[in-house]
Amino acid sequence: MTMRPPVNRSRRRLLAAWASGMAALPVAGWLFPRAARAAWPKAAFAATTAEGALRELFGGAAIEPSDRVRITLPDVAEDGAVVPLTIETDLEPVRSIVVVSEKNPVPLIARFDFGEDALADTLATRIKLAESENIIVVVQTPERLCTARRYVEVLIGGCS
């Protein structure tokens, strides 16, 4: 026969109180709505090269260089941990914009998906760069994939 440890009643009461408290929170408003998100592209984020990430996202579809995609990045980034990035395009409508790095440990940096009312003409964020490398931007419209790239010299890497 095995001996069971005595039941810790105060702990049970505490757990019950916690559980009922949680139930009282307006949980629904805090949950991330499924419908609000396209699935997080796990395989593309796991890719170890920029080409691999793009292949995961777009299959083998042709990606054409275009001067209608403009990338603003500093020529020299002193701190690779915080590099301001602005993407501009006059392509319309835009379904998504993908940002990939040539040499970061995780090459895929971000995918931005646009709804009907969104204007993809100007998008800005801040990214991390591991070392001096190219940043590749792909703009996806219903018909095609357009790309541009820009080289940034990085003085202090921002991914370690």
Partner 1 sequence: MTDTPSTTRVRTSIADGICTVRAMMRHVMETGNRRDKLTGALIPAHHITEVACEHNGRVVMSCAWGTGIARNPLLSFRFRGARPGDVLTLRWVDNRGATDVTHVTIE
CB-based contacts of 50: which residues, under 8 Å, 6+ apart?
A: 100, 101, 102, 107, 108, 136
**Contact of 57 with 38, CB cutoff 8 Å:** no
Closest CA to 130 of 103, 152, 148: 103
ω into residue 93 within 30 of 0, thus cis? yes
* Least distance between partner 1 and beta carbon 38 (Å): 6
* Separation between Cα atoms, residue 13 and residue 115, nearest integer Å: 47
CB nearer to partner 1: give 3 or 31.
31
Question: Which residues, 101 to 160, sit near partner 1 by CB under 8 A?
Answer: 101, 104-106, 108-115, 117-128, 158-160
Using CB under 8 A, which of 4, 9, 11, 37 touches partner 1?
Answer: 37
CB nearer to partner 1: give 5 or 33.
33
* Separation between Cα atoms, residue 107 and residue 48, nearest integer Å: 6
Binding mask 38-77 for partner 1 (x = CB under 8 A): x-xx---x--------------------------------
Interface residues with partner 1 (CB under 8 A)? 29-33, 35-38, 40-41, 45, 81-83, 99, 101, 104-106, 108-115, 117-128, 158-160
